[in-house]
Structure 1
């Protein structure tokens, strides 16, 4: 797809300042390059979510936006299908995102993210550009941490100048010195200090804004690197403590909230408050001197067992009365 649509992608990059590999990586992750749009009628899905569930106000706004898209004639009604939650098209825009950021790149008078690949690719680049993407700046890169380096208190939002990271002993994963970048970067260790570590710039935040999950952002960033010819991560991912599904992350948040941690919404998205609670619990439960914010099966199982032990016993059932 990168080569098939090279002329369009080159023009998109010139107009919006986002490179072809990044745009195509979003396309690949979101719809397998146009093969998986979702089969739900968007109006029906959004109408249902407008009346049921905990985010009715949000989905009501998306429903009205979908109706406006149909009214303007950008997409035929029978073609407006997508995910159960309302995202649609090659790169899975929500209707209100479409209204703000979709572009008519092919010049046919319609902003069609379903049947026009040029419109979809250009709209994706426009999204990233408006999210703060800086042309020529890498999203980040894998690094090697010095022996005994503490990751406590670190995170992608806590950026420091590259010179500071050099002074702390960090190097590229292949052992090379850190690049001379005039941009601050934050340290991200999604699998804990024993797994791959990354210095990430504001361009990673632009990818992250597409779907607020570090694993999602890293998938797109890494796929873009592979499309440019780079190799796989150098540090292997830890296998002794598997990660969590979305449902398990929600369960973990419930257990953390039950212990008195203020983590915000129980949504399965592990933000800064959830990570802080995880660090506190890992320190308490496992005696880690510099606990990280990784959520794994070990922590979930331990908190489950604690909650079970703390639960009050059920009163014995009353004997039936003979009549």
Structure 2
């Protein structure tokens, strides 16, 4: 018993020693970041204030390295990601915010139901935005080193947000990874797409719904959204369908994935000739639209003909499950045109 207690205490001491060393290394890293920020031209007071809040967050590193790898299929994922209560709430909030949503939709050329779907899936309609100090999260993740260049870019972008006065330091909160606000934009996405829709001088995706709606719409529009189309549709395949036509999941770079998509696209008439039908067995729409055949799981799982707007979802988050869940929720809010 005494031996076990001694081993346990030694383990605690060792853990404390490792953490003390890590904290010391973190402070050195933080000092170097300050010098780098000054060299980039950031104001010394901004740097001092922002970095004074930065602490090493072991939980952030743990979350980054140990993201869950639960085996999912769309059959299990969609009911959890888009339960009936979320559909009901999406419809209710659409009705409550109809005037501003439809104004934003008209100005940006993005159907309002897609704005609401992304709002709901990213932050539960603004209710879950994360309580982590954004600067601490980004500095911790850069310090960890696995994706240092990525998180340093996010850190500089975060300083730009503070410098521009869009949010105060005490309210600069987000997810453990640095995603922020009702839109869950990373700092670089904020700087590229966020909109001050109510013209109060701040792009406030945290507390101002109008800014959040317009920022979502602006993201989609800038990435090529076409409001004459929907996102895609679930389809059924004929027996012995040749799998070479199917766009499968993979770890390709974004450029490779887009090339793969473009090579896989066919007209709806071509898919009709190959025996592809709507989920209810009826013919595909007789319109001049191109689509790729997406297989989120395997040949026995759900299949979708995905239009160009699906690619925009994949730019937001390159996951077939995510993209399909956005489309699925948007359809439950209001049915598509094509």
- 1:183 — aligned with what? 289
The structure carrying a bigger helix percent of its residues is 2
Per-residue CA distance 1:158-193 (angstroms, 9 max, x = gap)? 101111001111110112210123221010121212
- 2:266 — aligned with what? 160
The total of aligned residue pairs comes to 230
Q: Secondary structure at the match of 1:21?
A: helix
Alpha-carbon distance in 1 for matches of 2:272, 2:245: 18
Which structure has the higher relative contact order (CA within 8 Å, separation 6+)? 2
Q: Is the 8 A contact 2:234 2:279 kept in 1?
A: yes
Alpha-carbon distance in 2 for matches of 1:88, 1:124: 13
Q: Secondary structure at the match of 1:112?
A: coil
- 2:308 — aligned with what? 202
Q: 2:209 aligns with which of 108, 117, 123?
A: 117
**TM-align CA RMSD:** 1.3
Q: Secondary structure at the match of 1:212?
A: coil
Q: TM-score, normalised by structure 1?
A: 0.69
- 1:216 — aligned with what? 322
Alpha-carbon distance in 1 for matches of 2:237, 2:130: 41
Q: Is the 8 A contact 2:245 2:293 kept in 1?
A: no
Structure 2 portions without partners, runs of 5+: 1-92, 249-260
Q: 1:27 aligns with which of 97, 119, 142?
A: 119
Alpha-carbon distance in 1 for matches of 2:219, 2:120: 16
Compared CA separation, residues 153 and 163, structure 1 to 2 (3 A): closer
- 1:73 — aligned with what? 165
Structure 1 portions without partners, runs of 5+: 231-323
Q: 1:140 aligns with which of 232, 242, 245?
A: 232
- 1:233 — aligned with what? none
Is the aligned partner of 1:104 residue 2:196? yes
Task: Report the Cα offset of residue 229 of structure 1.
Answer: 5.2
Indicate the larger mover: 174-183 or 202-211: 174-183
Q: Is the 8 A contact 2:141 2:148 kept in 1?
A: yes
